[in-house]
Amino acid sequence: MPIFLQGEAKTAKARITVSPSGLSCSAELWLSKDGTTKQATSGSKPFNSTGAPQDVSLPVTMPAGGFQYGVYLDIYVAGNLMGAYRATEDVLVPAVSDPVITW
């Protein structure tokens, strides 16, 4: 499971194939603890289908630490949700308090 730091900016690359080519598409990658609420999102990232696999960059800033987040990917074609996926691997954003050291 990928481990990222809170506030860390990461860019996911989603390899997507939309056919036929020339369609106006968009993708959004979001992180969620419950699959409903988006704790972080790339926002809608437009692209034009090529009819072949293409990598779409989806930047996300890691949300609050201390949780494991599911990774969700929505693909829109001409504004219509054509596919909603959950990545097989979640993302872990641990949290660490300020340590207190005594001797």
Partner 1 sequence: MPTFEPGALATAKVRITVSPAGLASQVVLALATMVPVVSRTVSFTSTGAEQEITIPITMPAATGQYGVWLDILVSGIVIRQYVGTEAVTIQVSLPSPSLTYLFQWTSPSGDYFENTLSLGTLLEMRDEAFLNLSFDEDPLIPTARGLQYASTAKTQIRNEIIELLDANGFSGSTVSFTDPVIACGAFENRYSCYIRVPGNVSVNGTPVLGVQEKGTITQYIDEWYSPSPDENDIITGARVTWRNDSTVAFTGRVLVMYNRINFNATQNQDATLQPGQSITVHFTFEVQGVSIWSVKLLALPSMRVLDRR
**Contact residues: partner 1, CB under 8 A:** 3, 5, 65-68, 92, 94-103
The answer to whether the beta carbons of residues 47 and 54 sit under 8 Å apart is yes
User: Closest Cα to residue 56, out of 93, 90, 85, 88?
Assistant: 85
Q: Measured from the CB of residue 23, what is the shortest distance to partner 1 in angstroms?
A: 39
Half-sphere exposure of 86 (CA within 13 A, CB side): 12
Closest contact distance (angstroms) between CB of 88 and partner 1 is 18
Closest distance of CB 40 from partner 1, Å: 17
Cβ closest to partner 1, residue 9 vs residue 96:
96
- Judge whether 81 and 74 are in contact, CB under 8 Å: yes
- The smaller minimum CB distance to partner 1, of residues 1 and 52, is found at 1
In this complex, which beta carbon is closest to partner 1, that of residue 82 or of residue 95?
95
Q: Are 60 and 28 in contact (CB under 8 A)?
A: no
